[in-house]
Chain A
Amino acid sequence: MNKENNMDNISRELINAANITEAPQGFTTNIMSKIEAHKTVVLPILKPLISRAMWLLITIITIVTTTITLFYNNNTEAYFKEVKPSYFNYNFLESIDFTFPSIHLNNITMVAIASFGIFFIIQILMFDKNTRANIS
């Protein structure tokens, strides 16, 4: 026990004699300038691939198309006849079949389309999250 204390005391004396080494000159300044540089990193400005105006146009087209499909499906021919300009060839318009073909999808295809849609949305959300993380 005495030897143990002796070793403990001499070790303390030695370590204290070694003291600590002063940090090199300019140490604090270097750190503070790195912190400053870290703060002033220019964040990339994200620009959407599709502009607001284009989204508006796409939305309008989608709504119009869907509305025509749903509500004017049986009367499409008549509707277009009404708006037909007089200089259009009547026979030409008559020859076009405006009715949309009815699409029959089986369950597997429906599930596949729905899954694709869900994963597409998840991917967009993940992409957005990753982009934000990279910036911060």
Chain B
Amino acid sequence: MSKTDQYYIQEVLKGNDNQFEYLVNNHKDLIFTLCLRIIKDQQIAEEAAQDTFLKAYKSLAKFNGESKFSSWLYRIAYNTSLDKIKAKKLTITTQTLEDYHENYSSEVKNSIDILEQKELKELVQASLKKLNEDEAFVLTLYYYEELSMHEIAEIVSATANSVKVKIFRSRKKLLSIIKNQIPQEILSSYE
């Protein structure tokens, strides 16, 4: 746990509730992003992210510090987001992994090099929306937050092995989706 989180947690537990604001500000963007990657809807993801922090506030005394505070928050965010999907009866339209070829990664690599940063960001964000509820979630934790498979397994209540399989399949799927979204003229320029 980082020193700053620890300090603010202790302050909140002492009754200085305003200090919780710092914890929210430290983690809100990633928590919102994770909720959005599971739920795929901006408004409901915001609700889920807010519920995550409220739940964390109410059970802060139960946080024993064995794991990182951020990991504890991710776990709450994951469960809250899945609960929202159930409660709102949301149907997440996703794509199945059908036609992945080994050369996709090099094709995508070559193509994204010529895309503007903004274009690439939009392309990847749109592609992440086509992944299942937890696929984009585990990819974000693994590649962006650089958590180990074991840490992710604890967050999603699964085994490290099943997380490994999920990451492997999810990135194949992501590359396949991105490859299909890259304009043909860009792809053909490298063929």
Tell me the A residues contacting B by CB distance below 8 Å: 3, 6-8, 10-24, 27-28, 30-32, 34-36, 38-39
A32 touching B21 by the CB < 8 A rule?
A: yes
What are 13 A-B interface contacts by the 8 Å CB criterion?
A: A7-B172, A11-B143, A11-B171, A14-B108, A17-B112, A17-B120, A20-B32, A21-B33, A22-B32, A23-B31, A28-B25, A31-B57, A32-B20
Determine whether the beta carbon of A10 is less than 8 Å from that of B108: yes
A14 to B117 Cα, complex, angstroms: 11
Q: Which residues of A contact B42 (CB under 8 A)?
A: 24
Instruction: For B125, give its contact among A7, A18, A24 (CB under 8 Å).
Output: A18
Known: A15-B144, A16-B143, A27-B28. A7 touches B46 (CB 8 A): no
Q: Which of A6, A8, A39 contacts B17 (CB 8 A)?
A: A39
A32–B124 CB distance below 8 A: no
Residues A3 and B105 in contact, CB atoms below 8 Å apart? yes
Q: Give every chain B residue within 8 A of A32 (Cβ-Cβ).
A: 18, 20-21, 24
Interface residues on B, range: 35 or more
Interface residues of B (CB under 8 A from A): 17-18, 20-21, 24-25, 28-33, 36, 42, 46, 49-50, 53-54, 57-58, 102, 105-106, 108-109, 112, 117, 120-121, 124-125, 128, 139-140, 143-144, 171-172, 174-175, 178
Contacts of A12 in B (CB 8 A): 143
A28, B121: Cβ atoms under 8 Å? Answer: no
- Which one of A15, A31, A34, A39 lies within 8 Å of B143 (CB-CB)? A15
Complex: A6 Cα to B103 Cα, angstroms: 10
Measured CA separation A3–B107 after assembly (Å): 13
In the complex, chain B residues whose CB is within 8 Å of the CB of A20? 29-30, 32-33, 140, 144
From A6, A15, A24, name the one whose CB has the most chain B CB atoms within 10 angstroms.
A15
> In the complex the two chains form, is B36's CB within 8 Å of A35's CB?
no
CA of A22 to CA of B25, assembled, Å: 11
Taking a contact as CB atoms under 8 Å apart, the answer to whether B171 and A7 are in contact is: yes
Residues of B within 8 A of A17 (CB): 112, 117, 120-121, 124
The reply to whether A11 and B175 form a contact with Cβ atoms under 8 Å apart is: yes
Contacts of A38 in B (CB 8 A): 54, 57-58
CB distance from B70 to the nearest CB of A (A): 13
Interface contact A7-B175, CB-CB below 8 Å = yes
Query: Cα distance A32–B93 when bound, in Å?
Result: 34
Extra contacts besides A12-B143, A22-B32 (8): CB < 8 Å = A6-B106, A7-B171, A14-B120, A15-B124, A19-B121, A23-B32, A31-B50, A38-B54
